[in-house]
Amino acid sequence: MPGRACGARHPIWCGMSTPPAAPLALLAELTHRCPLRCPYCSNPVNLTRVAEELDTATWARVFREAAALGCLQVHLSGGEPTARRDIADLVRAASEAGLYTNLITSGVLTGDAKLQTLVEAGLEHVQLSVQDAEPGSGDRIGGYRGGHAKKLEFARLVHDSGLPLTLNAVVHRQNLDRLPDMIALALALGAGRLEVAHVQYYGWALANRDALLPTRAQLEAATATVEAARRDLKGRLVIDYVVPDYYARRPKACMGGWGRQFLAVSPAGRVLPCHAAESLPGFDFPNVRDVSLRWAWEDSEAFNRFRGTGWMPAPCQGCEHAERDWGGCRCQAFALTGDAAATDPACALSPHHAVLSLAVGAAAEAGEAFTYREPRRDVTSVSG
């Protein structure tokens, strides 16, 4: 297994005095299995099958390597991470490696006994997704009958266990008008943090963009609602707000910049700068079955390709914002222009900026029917 490369093997940073700074967190995508069919699912179109998933021992090694690399926390995600029968062993391995453990879950497969097992294994935080505050709409968006009720029951179990809870509300045209109700739901469930995350349009969400894109009026109302709630609920509820790019004039620093703060490992072991990067063609992403996590982070061509500013085309090259937004989102650039190295169209200076206005116009004329991803047949359905 390669360790740190040297000499000509890492020309992109070999002239620097130090390698890239350590990542803050690891997103461990344990499985693509999930009982929900969310129309904005960020998993790849071609899902990893169970037989291709990393085994327990390999994940445990990845966690140890992540801690040695400098990661402070691990986000156990999917798919639905609790669909793995060894989820308690994975939580224990991450905890023993010294990582802060956060479970990102739909909550529909976990009952009291399983949750207590996870707590005993070292789980420290839960991030629960909700599709809406209204049960019927939540079940329709998630494509899972009775899912909203199961989520509320799971949130109660998390609260009773003493674990801190973050509620993650993915918002879009079909639920944004109930954002005040989602904020109230977070308070009622005892969440300490609420993430209001507008859908990001790549992967499966791109196929449903016309049914999901909010109107400008909805976006402005939502932003005002969040600002008011942050003011009124200060000290009671922390609210993170992720806005959509389709009304923007400046791109976001996606994931804090490519290969700068975060890394992800897919169910099959591919090491990625972000969870959606598998959608990009022309990359040979390293695999933890073949290389160390440190080598993937510091020396792989895939991670170094869009690091820093040297790769940037005009108008990004030399822009005063280049080291703030780091060129924006590479996945969005590819989805909208066909070129991952292009300026993110969210930037008003991009030659492709007009495609966002065209998309908004098309969505305004569209209906609200979703194209759903079919659930995996091999999902574990026992709540335990």
Binding-site sequence positions for [4Fe-4S] cluster? 34, 38, 41
371 token code pair: 């194209």
Sorted by sequence, the CB contacts under 8 Å of residue 61 that are 6+ apart come out as 288
> Burial code of 15-38, b = ≥16 C-beta within 10 A, e = fewer?
eeeeebeebebbbbbbbbbbbbbb
> Which of 68, 60, 51 lies closest to 28 in space, CA to CA?
60
- 101: closest CA among 52, 30, 34, 41? 30
Residue-wise burial string across 48-84, b where 16 or more C-beta atoms lie within 10 A, e elsewhere: bebeebbeeeebbbbbbbbbebebebbbbbbbbbbbb
Note the residue count of the chain.
384
Helix locations, the chain, DSSP H: 56-69, 87-96, 112-121, 135-142, 147-161, 179-188, 204-207, 209-212, 216-232, 293-299, 301-304, 322-325, 330-337, 354-364
Q: Are 277 and 375 in contact (CB under 8 A)?
A: no
Is 99:67 a contact under the CB 8 Å cutoff? yes
State the DSSP code for 336: H
Binding-site residue ranges: 34, 38, 41
Contact present, 132 and 148 (Cβ < 8 Å):
yes
Of 148, 108, 156, 104, which Cα lies nearest the Cα of 125?
Answer: 104
Q: In this structure, what token pair is assigned to residue 278?
A: 């598998």
- Residues 333, 339 contacting (CB under 8 angstroms): yes
Q: Please name which of 141, 130, 248 lies closest in space to residue 179, comparing C-alpha atoms.
A: 130
* Residues 268 and 54 sit within 8 Å (Cβ to Cβ): yes
3-state DSSP percent of the chain in helix, strand and coil, to 5: 40, 10, 50
Burial of 266 (0-12, 13-18, 19+ CB in 10 A): buried
